[in-house]
Amino acid sequence: MLQQAFRFDPVELPQAAQALRKEVRAFLDENRDSLGNRRDYDQAFSKKMAEHGWVGMTWPKQYGGHERTAFERYVVIEEMLAAGAPVGFHWTADRQSGPNILRYGTDEQKAHFLPRIVRGELSFCIGMSEPDSGSDLAGTRTRAVKVDGGFRINGSKLWTSNAHRADYMILFCKMADAGQDEVDRHAGATQFLVDLKNSPGIEIRPVINLLGEHHFNQLFLTDLFVPDSRLFGDIGNGWRQVSSELAFERSGPDRFLVLFKLLTEMVRVAGTNPDRATAAALGRLVAQLATLRRMSLSIAGMLQEGLQPLNEAAVTKDLGTRYEQDLPVIARQLFPAEPDLAAVDTYVSMLARGIGNAPRLSIQGGTREILRGIIARGLGLR
């Protein structure tokens, strides 16, 4: 049963991808001043990447893409994340909004949005979660009503990362006339491409995270008008569209490289002659990372084949999260220090960042319990 439910075929990176790695490292060397410890939002940096053809890498040339393989894209994002490059501006659009527009958008939407994303001109955010409706997206209370020339939308979205900076949001809601269908809880689910910069009826309020930073928001939508041309996909098809988006969201190396810098700092602090217990603990962490990477690469292989590896993505995200939540705990045991975000010592500041980041990892992009439910279903247990 396991073999049928989960497919993690071993994958070797093709030569073209290996060659690209050198190019990416040279680029990162040249842009060393821009590198930090997290996925900062920096449009100028995204534009530089775009000039190298590293945004929308796998998309068709017809829409400005570069028709590179999923493996080449993998190498670029892996190197960017490991270096702490500020890729936040194009991240969501490149990872999931663009691929979903390619799959479900109209010809006009593809021609309008994709080339702009590829050039580093447009950023996207994800409008799925709401107060009282995160895991249970089917319980969404935001409602759209058909009106002349478009739709009128009312409701609220919560935890919307980067909504205060993004140009567009893909909004998930339901048609008001769908009612509360208890048999088909996904009835009426519909998505819209919402222009966040030019739409009256949107109020964006900051929600400050554990680290004291403004990363996510609550949005209030009051009689928001979205024209017919920005209906995304088919009315009532929102659930299927969201599911396909989440496969892109869950499988990448961003699910285990968020705290990579903390690991390299631990290795640095351990020095060249660590005691046996320290060496063993670090060795175990590196081995786990290598395994996660092989799993994630294997998923890149399936994406390359045009498959939708939902089960494999859930396993990889769950294990990746576990690994990253263990990192700061093990760091503290091996090299005790008072965590301080502002510390000059990179280990100490990364430790603080790791501790502050850890709780969110098993919530965003699907909580641990939800992922395990998907895995159980994949195994035929539910």
Ligand X SMILES: Cc1cc2nc3c(=O)[nH]c(=O)nc-3n(C[C@H](O)[C@H](O)[C@H](O)COP(=O)(O)OP(=O)(O)OC[C@H]3O[C@@H](n4cnc5c(N)ncnc54)[C@H](O)[C@@H]3O)c2cc1C
Binding footprint of ligand X on the chain (CB under 6 A):
125-129, 134-136, 159-161, 216, 360, 363-364, 366-367, 369-370, 373
- Among residues 171, 166, 170, which one has the least CA distance to residue 198? 166
Nearest residue to ligand X, scored by beta-carbon proximity: 134
DSSP character for 210? T
CB of 262 to ligand X, least distance (A): 17
- Give the SS3 label for residue 248: helix
CB of 137 to ligand X, least distance (A): 8
Question: Would you say 117 or 302 has its CB closer to ligand X?
Answer: 117
Q: What is the 3-state secondary structure (H, E, C) of 303-361?
A: HHCCCCCHHHHHHHHHHHHHHHHHHHHHHHHHCCCCCCCCCCCHHHHHHHHHHHHHHHH
Give dist(CA 189, CA 195) in Å, integer: 20
Question: Would you say 37 or 161 has its CB closer to ligand X?
Answer: 161
Q: Report the Cα 208 to chain-centroid distance in Å.
A: 19
Query: Torsion angle of alpha carbons 117, 120, 121, 122, nearest 10°?
Result: 50
Question: Would you say 62 or 135 has its CB closer to ligand X?
Answer: 135
Partners of 225 in the β-ladder? 152
Strands 189-195 and 202-208: unpaired
Question: Would you say 135 or 243 has its CB closer to ligand X?
Answer: 135
CB of 324 to ligand X, least distance (A): 13
CB of 117 to ligand X, least distance (A): 17
Give dist(CA 176, CA 143) in Å, integer: 5
Question: Would you say 110 or 215 has its CB closer to ligand X?
Answer: 215
CB of 182 to ligand X, least distance (A): 16
CB of 75 to ligand X, least distance (A): 26
Residues 162, 93 contacting (CB under 8 angstroms): no
How many Cα neighbours within 13 Å face the side chain of 239? 15
CB of 131 to ligand X, least distance (A): 8
Give dist(CA 376, CA 151) in Å, integer: 38
Cβ neighbors of 28 (< 8 A, separation 6 or more) are 35, 79, 80, 83, 85
- Among residues 157, 164, 152, which one has the least CA distance to residue 132? 157
CB of 136 to ligand X, least distance (A): 6
CB of 64 to ligand X, least distance (A): 25
Q: Where do we find the tokens 């960042």?
A: 353
- Please report the beta strands in the chain, taking only residues with DSSP state E, as ranges in sequence order: 124-127, 143-147, 150-158, 168-175, 189-195, 202-208, 214-227, 231-232
In this structure, what are the phi and psi dihedrals at residue 196, rounded to the nearest 5 degrees? -75, -20
Question: Would you say 136 or 223 has its CB closer to ligand X?
Answer: 136
CB of 314 to ligand X, least distance (A): 13
Question: Would you say 288 or 364 has its CB closer to ligand X?
Answer: 364
Question: Would you say 177 or 369 has its CB closer to ligand X?
Answer: 369
Residues in the chain: 382
Question: Would you say 53 or 134 has its CB closer to ligand X?
Answer: 134
Question: Would you say 52 or 240 has its CB closer to ligand X?
Answer: 240
